[in-house]
Amino acid sequence: MQRREWLRAAAARLRESGVPSAEVDARALLLHALRLPATALLTAPDAPLSGPDEVRLDELLAQRAARVPLQHLLGEVEWGGVLLRCDARALVPRPETEWLLHLTLGALRSVTAPRVLDVGTGTGALALGVKAARPDAAVTATDLSAEALSLAGENAALNALDITLLQADLLTGVSGPFDLVVSNPPYLPEADRVTAPPELTHDPALALYGGPDGLSLARRLAAQAADALGPGSPLLLELDPRNAPGFAAELRAAGWAARTAADLAGRERFVLAERPGASAG
């Protein structure tokens, strides 16, 4: 079978299995399995596959058709300027969260040697993205899950980046003050378990669901962050777009200066706030 033929058949199978990005995923699997650069499919699309290559590709295809996340099959993904290992120990880093990293770096632009806290770090994506872009930053990352922290430590070593990893329930026991607190906390409402895509069953439930309305963790985090942030320092959160505007309003009612920001698809999913008592910036 030729590369082009396998791609066509693989994309058809993934579409039948309900995978929304069938062509993209089939291409990624082929490049990964054969260890090819992206240009290989342009320069030699009709190159034949060896028998062992077909076996390996069909094994990967069967797993993706069973809705194992593509990132787990690839093992590593490029995200926010760093390389991240991905497996079932932590939430797969989403592309939209790269915009939270962008907002975070923007908020730190005028701060020299900033002290940054990433709460619920998972793979370490946000913490490592900040450290890669701002080597002068002192970055601390927390997670309740020891397994997630293990993965974050592997990713820190993979990227040769020095961050502090702490096992903690949000900010409990974490000493401030910090110049910025950022988090992509569990934010899905519990009712979403019934309708969640099959891929989410491969993510830790601990990293996905945030109580009845999806805001239980965000509320606790904001209450703790008010004491951990220095004067005028921001809290940045990624939330479900269904909840971000309402939570920003909750924060304003509690004395925060809070607003929302949209992702690249125009969905208001980010909350940017300054702690109560600080002047708005």
Domain ranges of the chain: 3-66, 81-274
What percent of the chain stands above pLDDT 90?
93
Q: How confident is the model at residue 144 (pLDDT cuts 50, 70, 90)?
A: very high
Cβ burial of 226 (10 Å; 0-12, 13-18, 19+) is buried
Beta-sheet pairing, 180-183 with 115-119: parallel
The Cα 1–Cα 174 span in angstroms is 57
What's the whole-model pTM score? 0.90
Q: What is the largest CA-CA distance in the chain?
A: 67
CATH of domain 81-274: 3.40.50.150
- What pLDDT was estimated at residue 280? 40
CA angle 213/241/67 to nearest 5° reads 85
**What are the distances in angstroms from CA 266 to CA 72, 147, 185, 208?**
28, 34, 20, 22
- What pLDDT was estimated at residue 231? 81
234: amino acid identity, one letter = P
- What pLDDT was estimated at residue 277? 64
The Cα 123–Cα 89 span in angstroms is 8
3 pLDDT higher than 70: yes
Greater model confidence, 231 or 52? 52
Beta-sheet pairing, 234-238 with 138-143: unpaired
11 pLDDT higher than 70: yes
Spatial CA neighbour of 181 closest among 221, 239, 131, 241: 221
Spatial CA neighbour of 169 closest among 150, 143, 141: 143
Provide mean pLDDT across the span 152-179: 96
Residues 188, 238: contact at Cβ < 8 Å?
no
